[in-house]
Structure 1
Amino acid sequence: MLMPEDPPVETAVVKLLGDPLRARIVRLLAEEQLCTCHLIEETGARQPTVSHHLRVLREAGFVATEPHGRYTYYRLRPEALSVLARSLGDLAARAEQAALSRRPCD
């Protein structure tokens, strides 16, 4: 989850959506908790590739894991997405203000 000492919002967005397969995984996890085998089946990607993207998402705080028997299920962490959404909202508000401000050239 993004905290004040974390990397900028741009870095978080890249970690969340910066790769088409990772973005697809995020969309799938927004619908339900899935294990790696489900994600492989849904995306057609190889297991090492899916595992890599899940690791990136987990390390960035966007995905949590839950063991269930022999399998590990993955789910999106809505609180982390909410923090990112607020950061993006703040960025949009600053951009609106910037539209009214122009630095003069020397």
Structure 2
Amino acid sequence: MSKQAALRLDLAVTTCCAPLTQRPVPPETAQALAPAFKALGDPVRLQLLSMIASAEGGEICVCDLTPAFDLTGPTISHHLKVLRDTGLVDAERRGTWVWYRARPAMLRQLAVLLAAPPADAP
């Protein structure tokens, strides 16, 4: 991820915002968060993020992610790169393997933005 993209993501996470059902999303926040939503529009990336975010201990090795899909290693690597580039996950190389963990602040921000009013609200 470029330094500029990381700054936009960090800015969006720290400065954003009320749920979109309460007031319009500011343009700069929409610009910063839209790539994350776009990334999650792919079923493989959504599954990967789910596996990473729900992993015991908060992280998972790519060696445990790849066998879950009928895709090549390079294709899985591409999807993981998209998740990293959009700020949804962090990665750390340990020896020959890469370990992934979700970025809770980013997930919370997406959740807050999509929070719906209670069912009994007018």
TM-score of the pair, normalised by structure 1: 0.72
- Hey, what does 2:92 align to over in structure 1? 66
2:82 maps to a residue whose letter is V
Matched, 1:27 2:53: no
Deviations 1:11-38 (A, max 9, x none): 42221x2111111101111222222222
Across the aligned residues of Structure 1 and Structure 2, the Cα RMSD in angstroms comes to: 2.3
- Number of aligned pairs? 92
Unmatched tracts of structure 2, length 5 or more: 1-8, 16-27
Greater radius of gyration (CA): 1
Alignment of 1:1-12 (within 5 A): 1=9, 3=12, 5-6=28-29, 7=31, 9-12=33-36
Q: Where do 5+ consecutive residues of structure 1 fail to align?
A: 94-99, 101-106
Partner amino acid for 1:46?
A: T
- Percent identical among aligned pairs is 36
User: Normalized against structure 2, the TM-score is what?
Assistant: 0.64
